[in-house]
Structure 1
Amino acid sequence: MKITVQDLMTTDVAAVHREASFHAVAELLMSAGVAGVPVVDDDDHVLGVVSEADLLTKAEFKQRYYGDAYRPPLRARIRHVAGVGRHEPAGETAGDLMTAPARTIAPMASIVTAARQMDRHGVKRLPVIDADGRLIGIISRHDLVKVFLRSDDDLLRQVKNAIRADALGLSVTVAEGLVTISGAFPEPSQPDTALRLAQGVDGVVAVRHSLT
């Protein structure tokens, strides 16, 4: 059985209302020990995400209004002028400061989908929403790494089921996530199929074989 976002997500989510003050957001980030939190409305619909970077953008641009010689990096200035994905850094509430729309994911999505979305959008966490767009959890890169901590016994059972090892008389061993398969198949296409199925089991680090 494939592991889904629902299996790994954190359900006790630190989130802020869109009317939360700058100070309240900063305080929550520090107390929760996280770099970003979802921003929600009165019905817990996810509107965006506010992060340490969003708060620091405000601090960066504040300097230039006091005649400071500091100039924010070109990338930051472009984001400020273009307003890409966020409001002006002068905002005072989470709704003003957040990056929107939020990159979200459904609870039944695979962990592969979650990893690809994080990589594609350059984010470290994804709010998990139900069919109505309400916040029900959050999944982070840290959560995804947990899948590689599955026990060897658990992986052995799933790999053997996936490739029908017992029915085909194949030998399978697992040591620290590394799967070794040996045996013979009646059809030439079967070894490649077995390797793909074994590698597709969530938590498998690599597959070694001596299949014929």
Structure 2
Amino acid sequence: MKHLRTVDDVMTHAVISVDRGARFKDVVETMRQWRISAVPVLSQEGRVAGVVSEADLLLKAQGADESRAVTAGDLMTVPAVTVPKDATIAGAARLMARGHLKRLPVVDDDGRLVGVVSRGDLLKIYLRPDADIAEELREMIMAELIPVGSALVNVHVADGIVHLNGSVPDQSLTDVLVRVARTVPGVVDVTAHFDADDVPA
């Protein structure tokens, strides 16, 4: 399994969308048919102009909508909250949490819709095999952090929990290793037990 880093790695590429002129009933039917809670509204250029959610539609059902909105263009919430396809998974998760959002349209550098990412998509990182997580972390440690011969770092991963041990020349390096381990997608928690003595020559 490849390293999961960005939204592009986990998003759904087949996206259901509507254009500004889609009628109210068509929007409701689209959402019902595909079992989605929101749908992006696209401009003629394929850019995300807004989003229509169940909450937007329910205003009509509650009798609270006095705007005479009958099309997706009338109903949509603007500006739409979108996420770039190269955004980190952690960044997308923070954006969803702040906005209490279930799904985010994913856009390319030109703002065109290329996918959608849901909460469930972001949770895919926790399905990574422990071996994949351990391999990625070892690569990061060897390539970026530990000069050869200056430390001995053992990596073991079980159920997404990283266990680090060995010996380091400086105990301050322990905090660095723990922080790095926490950045690896799929890591649930990190424990570290290092000996500052008897560092290999």
Q: Is the shorter-chain TM-score for this pair beyond 0.5, marking a shared fold?
A: yes
Q: 2:37: which partner in 1?
A: 35
Q: 1:203: which partner in 2?
A: 186
Q: 1:25: which partner in 2?
A: 27
How far the C-alpha of 1:185 sits from its partner, in A, is: 0.4
- DSSP-derived class of the 1:133 partner: coil
Q: 2:57: which partner in 1?
A: 55
- Using structure 1 for the length normalisation, give the TM-score: 0.84
The amino acid of 1:188's aligned partner reads: Q
Pick which of 174-183 and 163-172 moved more: 163-172
CA contact (8 A) 1:171 1:182 kept: yes
Runs of 5+ unmatched residues, structure 1: 63-79, 81-87
For each residue in 1:96-155, what CA deviation from the matched residue of structure 2 results, as whole angstroms up to 9, or x when unmatched?
111111001111110111011111122111111112211111111110000111111100
CA contact (8 A) 2:4 2:125 kept: no
Q: 1:137: which partner in 2?
A: 115
Q: 2:165: which partner in 1?
A: 182
Taking only aligned residues, the RMSD between alpha carbons, in angstroms, comes to 1.7
- Equivalent runs, 1:65-144 vs 2, <5 Å: 89-144=67-122
- Using structure 2 for the length normalisation, give the TM-score: 0.88
The 1-side partners of 2:72 and 2:131 are apart by 46
CA contact (8 A) 1:163 1:198 kept: no
CA contact (8 A) 1:10 1:137 kept: yes
1:147 counterpart = 2:125:
yes
Q: 2:199: which partner in 1?
A: none
How far the C-alpha of 1:90 sits from its partner, in A, is: 2.7
How far the C-alpha of 1:163 sits from its partner, in A, is: 2.5
Which is richer in helix? 1
The 2-side partners of 1:131 and 1:159 are apart by 30
Seen in structure 2, the aligned counterparts of structure 1 residues 123 and 151 have a Cα distance that, compared at 3 Å, is same
CA contact (8 A) 2:40 2:52 kept: yes
The 1-side partners of 2:147 and 2:137 are apart by 11
CA contact (8 A) 2:13 2:115 kept: yes
Matched pairs, number? 188
- DSSP-derived class of the 1:61 partner: coil
The 2-side partners of 1:49 and 1:209 are apart by 45
CA contact (8 A) 1:61 1:89 kept: no
Which is richer in strand? 2
How far the C-alpha of 1:162 sits from its partner, in A, is: 2.1
For each residue in 1:76-105, what CA deviation from the matched residue of structure 2 results, as whole angstroms up to 9, or x when unmatched?
xxxx6xxxxxxx553000011111110011
Q: 1:68: which partner in 2?
A: none
Runs of 5+ unmatched residues, structure 2: 196-201
The 2-side partners of 1:162 and 1:115 are apart by 23
- DSSP-derived class of the 2:62 partner: helix
Pick which of 16-25 and 164-173 moved more: 164-173
